[in-house]
Amino acid sequence: MEAIIFGKPVAFESVLQNGAFEISVNQPSPTAYRISLTQKPEAGMATLFCDNNQVKFQASEGNLEKAIVTGSNSHDEWKDYNTGITSFDSQLRAVQEYFEELAMKGEMGGKEDSLRFTYQSLSQGKENYIQSWILNHAGSYVSPFILAVQYGSSPRIEILKPLFEPLKSEIKDSYYGRVMGEVVTKLDALSIGKTAPAFSQSDPDGKMINLESFRGKYVLLDFWASWCGPCRQENPNLVRTYQKFQDKLSILGISLDQKKDPWLKAIKDDQLTWPQVSDLKFWNNAVAELYQVRSIPANYLLDKEGKIIAKNLRGPDLERALEQLLK
């Protein structure tokens, strides 16, 4: 059994004796666990949400996903939430499979637009369900866990904040509540109009580059890496935009590379003439973590005072935004 502790899962083991096992854990608040059979990974995995009570878990060896769990109100809520999610997912899967079947047989005819509309409607329905469930369960320890699972990989403040703020204080103070509270706080500091967090990082020659040294010009913080295909495809657009606005615009590249040589080669090959920094720590790049970057390419556009005025502008969108700002 493995506790779902983000960044550092904690494992608990027990030996099956006569088809039964027992595990005692000390948890500060209700916690989600993954249960699997070490010697038989093919048996599947189950998610168990435990309160601080005696919880009973019953399942057949090859069907852990359909376990019967009693003694945990949090697990009952988790099961209720997943009932709705499973319904949407099965409908989405059916539409996708039907779409692929028609496409393979060449029998799509005039059904493509209708099927795409149905899929998009179901996707939006699923999203509405997730958000409604959380808002209707402000006192559930499951709610911040759902926030983490659904939105943690690419968090957006405009979605997270209205869902997190109504949660009851004891829920915000739980493990998952504190995790998501920290994410909301960091994202809020990166909202449009906020002063961009200060940082310094070394360039390829080891010289420290400080963000505050760019004050007085518009600045584009560009998060990228030599191994990132979409980043490399976007670089020619950045080069063109920089050549057009370089008298009023600075670009500072922050690379999520791990090795110096590929980073330097990409800078040269893509003709990136603006300052570049990196600590060569991949996704653990300190600046990327500070700016909550979970996917690349990503960027922040700052005004002359260092305030955030736009995010993730690419290609013609970046050029149009700068034309509006600088005309």
Q: What is the DSSP string of 284-317?
A: G-HHHHHTT--SSSEEEEE-TTSBEEEES--HHH
Residue 165 inside a domain? The answer is yes
Residue 194 inside a domain? The answer is no
Residue 195 inside a domain? The answer is no
**Could you tell me if 211 and 314 lie in one domain?**
yes
Residue 208: which of 220, 198, 218, 219 has the closest Cα?
198
**Could you tell me if 166 and 251 lie in one domain?**
no
Residue 241 inside a domain? The answer is yes
* Structural domain total, the chain: 3
**Could you tell me if 312 and 204 lie in one domain?**
yes
**Could you tell me if 55 and 111 lie in one domain?**
no
Residue 235: give its domain's CATH number. Answer: 3.40.30.10
Query: For residue 261, how many other CB atoms are within 10 A of its CB?
Result: 9
**Could you tell me if 314 and 205 lie in one domain?**
yes
Query: For residue 70, how many other CB atoms are within 10 A of its CB?
Result: 12
- The pLDDT tens digits along the chain (327 residues) read 677 777 676 777 777 777 777 777 778 899 998 888 777 766 677 888 988 888 888 877 777 777 888 989 999 999 999 999 999 999 999 999 999 999 988 888 888 999 999 999 999 999 999 999 999 999 999 999 999 999 987 788 999 999 999 999 999 999 999 999 999 999 999 999 999 999 999 999 999 999 999 999 999 999 999 999 999 999 999 999 999 999 999 999 999 999 999 999 999 999 999 999 999 999 999 999 999 998 999 999 999 999 999 999 988 899 999 998 887
Residue 128 inside a domain? The answer is yes
**Could you tell me if 209 and 287 lie in one domain?**
yes
**Could you tell me if 252 and 180 lie in one domain?**
no
The whole model's pTM is what?
A: 0.78
Structural domain boundaries, residue 107: 76-188
| β pairing state of 2-3 and 31-36 | antiparallel
Q: How far is CA 219 from the centre of its chain?
A: 25
Residue 117 inside a domain? The answer is yes
What are 294's two structure tokens?
A: 């979970």
In this structure, what DSSP letter does residue 192 have? T
Residue 185: which of 160, 222, 154, 221 has the closest Cα?
160
- Please give the Cα distance from 198 to 211 (Å, whole number): 6
